[in-house]
A and B are shown apart, each in its own frame.
Chain A
Amino acid sequence: MSQFVLAVDDLVKHFVAKRSAFGRSLATVKAVDGVSFTLRPGETLALVGESGCGKSTVGRLVMRLIEPTAGRIVLDGEDVTALGETAFRPFRRKVQLIFQDPFASLNPRMTVGEILSEPLMLHDIVPARERRRRVGELLQMVGLQPSHAARYPHEFSGGQRQRIVIARALAVEPRIVICDEPVSALDVSIRAQILNLLKELQARLGLAYVFISHDLSVVKHIADRIAVMYLGRIVETGRADEVFATPRHPYTRALLSAIPVASPEARRERRILEGDVPSPLDPPPGCHLHTRCPYAAEICQTQRPALDDDGAGHATACHFWPTLPEQRDILPAEGKIDPRLERLFGAFAGTEA
Chain B
Amino acid sequence: MAVDSPMQRAWRRLKRRKGAMIGLGVIVVMILVALFAPLIAPYDPTAQSWSAVRKPPSATYWLGTDEVGRDLLSRIIYGARASLSAGVISVGIAISIGVPLGLVAGYAGGLIDGVISRITDAMLACPFLILAIALAAFLGPSLTNAMIAIGVTATPIFIRLTRGQVLSVKAEDYVEAARAVGNPHWRIAWRHILPNVMPQLLVQATLTIATAIIAEASLSFLGLGQQPPAPSWGSMLNAAQRFLVNAPWMAVWPGLAIFVTVLSFNLLGDGLRDALDPRAR
Q: Which of A's residues lie within 8 Å of B, judged by CB?
A: 63, 65, 85-86, 89-90, 92-93, 96-97, 99, 101, 104-111, 118-119, 122-123, 147, 150-152, 154-155, 165, 168, 171-172
Contacts and interface: CB of A to CB of B under 8 A. Distances in A.
B245 interface: no
Contact of B181 (A104, A110, A118, A147): A118
B174 A151 contact: no
A176 to B, nearest CB: 12
Nearest to B195: A109
A168 B183 CA distance: 13
Contact of B184 (A89, A109, A110): A89
Contact of A104 (B4, B174, B183, B195): B174
Contacts of B181: 92, 96, 118-119, 122, 168, 171-172
Given A65-B176, A92-B181, A151-B3, 20 more contacts: A65-B179, A65-B180, A92-B180, A92-B182, A96-B180, A96-B181, A97-B180, A99-B173, A105-B177, A107-B174, A107-B195, A108-B174, A108-B278, A109-B195, A122-B181, A122-B182, A147-B1, A150-B1, A152-B5, A168-B181
A118 B173 contact: no
B174 A122 contact: no
Q: Could you tell me the dominant secondary structure of chain B's interface residues?
A: helix
B170 interface: no
A63 B174 contact: no
B227 interface: no
Interface string B173-204: 11011111111110000011001100000000
Contacts of A108: 6, 174, 196, 278
Contacts of B278: 108
Interface string B1-23: 10111100000000000000000
B6 A109 contact: yes
Contacts of B5: 109, 152
A105 B178 CA distance: 9
Contacts of B185: 85
Contacts of A151: 3-4
Nearest to B172: A104
Contacts of B183: 118, 122
Contact of A89 (B172, B176, B182, B191): B182
B174 A150 contact: no
B182 A107 contact: no
Interface core residue of B1, B6, B172, B180 (most chain A CB under 10 Å): B180
A105 B182 contact: no
A60 to B, nearest CB: 8
B35 to A, nearest CB: 32
B123 to A, nearest CB: 25
